[in-house]
Copies of this chain bind each other. A is one copy, B any other.
Amino acid sequence: MRVSPVRVAVVQFEPRVGVENLESNAAEVERRLAAAADSGANLIVLPELATTGYVFESREEAYAHAEAVPNGRTVESFATIAAERRVYIVGCVVERDGEKLFDTAVLVGPEGYIGRYRKTHLWNTEKLWFTPGDEGFSVFDTRIGRIGLLVCWDIWFPETARIVAQMGADIICVPTGWVWTPPPLYDESGVCMAAYLTMTAAHSNNVFIATADRIGQERGAGFMGNSLIAGTNGWPIDRIAGPDEDTIIYADIDLTSARTAPIWNQLNDLHRDRRTDLYDQMLGYTGSVPLPR
């Protein structure tokens, strides 16, 4: 196994919601994991809830799609594939823990289950069945580098990528299900705002970000595609996937390059230059009334 550079793959396809589709979704995912591994990928990122679909109609239906982490069917299957193919996989499942459900990203590798991240910022009706992540943010040391995890709507909050980058992540992997929001959905280049959020988060934190989004429509929700792997300079490596493409995007990355400051000049470093002496205004403040100066 190469340590660095590594080949990263983000998988974009259309899962189907409904327990009757769990098996076929799993088969579709496994087929794409095999294809990515065949293409030399070392780290493969899947969309959010790729084996279950996303738009549940009730808390009861979400429960029916749930499993334990790490000892559930999907994560065990990922771990088996990761061991067989000597790859790292970032997936995302409906996690059940007692009575609670979480929207949970998982990282597995050749060595087995590595860790999870429970989505901390919940989008729309997710709030009706999921519990907001209660374990903080996650970065895992692996043989290929330090891998951070976020999920979808998290990227709208610049705090998330900042924290994960500061925790030492070389690459942030983001299973995603970007849904249509008020237009314009895309600019003239066919790129959505969420892709730009991804690019600017990579740029301003000097970190790689690999985002796997889904496509298609599900119970009235449309998904945006635009999966991408952003370099530490923010620009997409290879390309941004189209809105409807069933595809896999690859990037060959030297993860260690996320550990050096961008070579812009001798006086600046994006992390060192933070004015943490002033940022206490950010913490714990949730209102809209001007803060005292």
Cα-based distance from A141 to B282 in the complex (angstroms): 20
Contacts of A275 in B (CB 8 A): 120-121, 132, 157, 159
Find out whether the CB atom of A181 lies under 8 angstroms from the CB atom of B264: yes
Label chain A's interface by main secondary structure. Answer: loop
Once the chains are docked, how many angstroms separate the CA of A140 from the CA of B202?
A: 31
Minimal beta-carbon separation of A275 from chain B (angstroms): 5
| Assembled-state Cα–Cα distance A288/B164 (Å) | 11
Indicate if the CB atoms of A157 and B273 lie closer than 8 Å: yes
**Of B167, B182, B263, B272, the contact of A262 (CB 8 Å cutoff):** B182
- Chain B residues near A262: list those with CB within 8 A: 181-182
Whether the Cβ atoms of A293 and B259 lie closer than 8 Å is no
The answer to whether B286 touches A272, judged by C-beta atoms less than 8 angstroms apart, is yes
Size category, A interface? 35 or more
Residues of B within 8 A of A127 (CB): 267
CA distance A49 to B147 in the complex (A): 41
Q: Restricting to A57-113, which residues have a CB under 8 Å from any CB of B? A: none
Report yes or no: A158 in contact with B204, Cβ–Cβ below 8 A.
Answer: yes
- Bound Cα distance A7, B44 (Å): 48
Min CB distance A179 to B, Å, is: 9
Query: In the bound complex, do residue B189 and residue A196 qualify as a contact, i.e. CB atoms below 8 Å apart?
Result: no
29 residue pairs of the A-B complex, CB under 8 angstroms, read A120-B275, A121-B273, A124-B265, A135-B293, A136-B281, A141-B290, A157-B273, A158-B159, A158-B201, A159-B162, A159-B274, A163-B279, A163-B282, A166-B281, A167-B290, A168-B288, A182-B263, A184-B233, A187-B189, A188-B189, A196-B196, A196-B200, A196-B203, A196-B234, A272-B286, A276-B285, A276-B286, A279-B283, A282-B282
- Interface positions of A (Cβ within 8 A of B): 120-125, 127-128, 132, 135-139, 141, 146, 153, 156-159, 162-163, 166-168, 181-182, 184, 187-189, 193, 196-197, 199-201, 203-204, 233-235, 259, 262-268, 270-276, 278-291, 293
**Closest CB pairs A-B (n = 8):** A158-B158, A168-B290, A124-B265, A200-B200, A163-B281, A276-B284, A167-B290, A120-B275
